[in-house]
């Protein structure tokens, strides 16, 4: 009876290996064709057919007023979201 158990286990392992081998062979024989890649064309500015505009001088940034008129304090909200303490540490 021991030999039957061994033969059954060996046949299951063999059939599993054989199935995996056939599936791998089938997949290798039916590979997808490589994707068609379109030829890249250079940009017109790289070839010189279009003039590249020269960058203009940067405009000075306008500073926003320190507080928003409706009274909502975004700086304090950002500090709370960062985890910064609201009040200075108390002296004990």
Domain ranges of the chain: 1-31
Predicted confidence (pLDDT) at residue 13 exceeds the cutoff of 70: yes
In 2-43 the beta strands, taken as DSSP E runs, fall at none
The angle at the Cα of 18, spanning 15 to 21, to the nearest 5 degrees, equals 150
Predicted confidence (pLDDT) at residue 89 exceeds the cutoff of 80: no
pLDDT tens digit sequence for 28-71: 988 878 778 877 776 766 666 666 667 777 777 777 766 556 66
Among residues of the chain, what percentage have pLDDT more than 90?
27
Please report which confidence band the pLDDT of residue 75 belongs to, taking 50, 70 and 90 as the band edges. Answer: confident
């Amino acid at each position: 009876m021991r030999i039957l158990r061994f033969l059954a286990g060996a046949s299951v392992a063999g059939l599993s290996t054989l199935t995996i081998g056939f599936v791998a062979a089938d997949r290798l024989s039916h590979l997808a064709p490589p994707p068609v890649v379109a030829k890249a064309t250079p940009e017109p500015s790289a070839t010189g057919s279009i003039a590249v505009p020269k960058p203009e001088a940067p405009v000075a940034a306008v500073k926003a007023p320190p507080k928003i008129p409706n009274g909502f304090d975004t700086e304090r909200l950002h500090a709370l979201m960062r985890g910064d303490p609201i009040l200075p540490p108390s002296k004990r």
